[in-house]
Amino acid sequence: MNNIGEIIYKKRTELGLTQAQLASVLNVSFQSVSKWENSTAYPDIEKLTELAAALKTNVDVLLGYKGATADYDSRYAAEGYYWGLKPNRMCYEIMSLLPPIKPYRLLDIGCGEGKDAVFFAKCGYLVTAFDISENGIEKSKRLAEHNRVNVEFIKADIMDFRFDRDYDIIFSSGVLHFLRPSYREEICARLKAHTAPNGFNALNVFVQKPFIVRAPDSSRDESLRHPWLSGELLGYYHDWLFHSCREDVFDCRSGGTPHKHCMDSLIAQKLGEGEIL
Ligand SMILES: C[S@@+](CC[C@H](N)C(=O)[O-])C[C@H]1O[C@@H](n2cnc3c(N)ncnc32)[C@H](O)[C@@H]1O
């Protein structure tokens, strides 16, 4: 979907707002909203931020910014699993920090083809997972079916995902460099706010290093990728308890050509003031 009218309609109806209600928040006529939705007129540029806020989204989404969808959709269309099926190292760390002695709720952001989400579900966590790629979500569903586990898989964009509950664990591997840097603070704040007391965030981000050359299979549109600075992720979690934080340079064979990446990983726990360790 890339038409602003369709996007306004979808967001407005998802929120259960009438055209008149949206119009009154924005101080415009309901006919204006109707024209936007029918694509016979467009909202003024100066109204976009206000409109995005009223629709609980952001201007990028309103304008149909597609992020990495196309790139990953084509990778995931192929047979086999682009990232393999081996769970990420952070999965095992989470298992030892918060073993699934009860069905803890876990959210996997940018789950790709579902390998980590399915691993967590097999271990007994209650998993919700989303990705912007339709093919990724379809493949993830098939993987869950094959492993006879239930995972709530959703096709969604991180910029747009509506948190309607809190999670004990929020997990994301290899995704947050798709966020524009100006959204990092807001997204990290949202992840932290939607983490249950004593819950965990397990995140990793690609970081830029002058001595590491670009991966040959990196997104065809380089403007979509925004590697972080070393240590930057830790800063957003300065008020949480760190269980592990590290920086690794590692070899990768994705796409068939050997190359290297540098990644910062963090597992941090939300402890409130006066909380006893
Ligand atoms: C490097 S892959 C990692 C996939 C998976 N986490 C894994 O480790 O196997 C990055 C994933 O982020 C997803 N992605 C990129 N931008 C996204 C966005 N704005 N919202 C949700 N997912 C996104 C891509 O579709 C892709 O599946």
* Residue-wise pLDDT tens digits, 49-100: 899 889 988 787 788 766 666 678 988 999 899 989 999 999 999 999 999 9
- Is the pLDDT confidence value at 202 over 50? yes
Name, in order, each residue with C-beta under 8 angstroms of 74's C-beta and a sequence gap of 6 or more: none
Task: Please tell me the distance from the alpha carbon of residue 1 to that of residue 126, in angstroms, as a whole number.
Answer: 30
Is residue 144's pLDDT more than 70? yes
Q: Where does residue 57 rank: exposed (0-12), middle (13-18), buried (19+ CB within 10 A)?
A: buried
pLDDT at 188 over 50: yes
> To test ligand 1's pocket by mutation, which of 118, 131, 138 has the most ligand atoms within 8 angstroms of CB?
131
Q: Are strands 195-206 and 259-269 parallel, antiparallel or unpaired?
A: antiparallel
Ligand 1 atom 7: the closest Cα is on which residue? 112
Q: Give me the pLDDT at residue 128, please.
A: 98
Domains and CATH numbers, the chain: 4-62 (1.10.260.40), 69-269 (3.40.50.150)
Closest CA to 232 of 262, 200, 269, 195: 262
Q: Give CA–CA dist 86/93, Å, rounded.
A: 14
Q: Quick check: helix, strand or coil at residue 54?
A: helix
Long-range CB pairs of 97-104, under 8 A, 24+ apart, other chains included: 97/200, 97/243, 97/267, 97/269, 98/168, 98/169, 98/199, 98/200, 100/124, 100/125, 104/168, 104/169
Region class of 28: left (phi > 0), else alpha (psi between -120 and 50), else beta: beta
Q: At CA 207, angle to CA 128 and CA 105, rounded to 5?
A: 15
Taking each helix axis from N to C terminus, what angle separates 4-14 and 30-37, rounded to the nearest 10 degrees?
120
The pTM of the full predicted model, rounded to 2 decimals, is 0.81
In this predicted structure, what is the pLDDT of residue 257?
A: 78
Residue from 69, 120, 132, 140 to probe ligand 1 pocket by mutation (most atoms less than 8 Å from CB): 132
Does position 268 have pLDDT exceeding 80, yes or no?
A: yes
Strand ranges across the sheet with 105-109: 152-155, 126-131, 105-109, 167-173, 195-206, 259-269, 241-252
The span from the CA of 134 to the CA of 50, in Å, is 29
CA distance 203 to 172: 5
CA 93 to chain centre: 20
Cα(262)–Cα(123) distance, integer angstroms: 29
> Which residues surround ligand 1 with Cβ inside 6 Å?
67-68, 72, 83, 88, 110-112, 115, 131-133, 136, 157-159, 173-175, 178
Residue nearest to atom 26 of ligand 1 (CA): 112
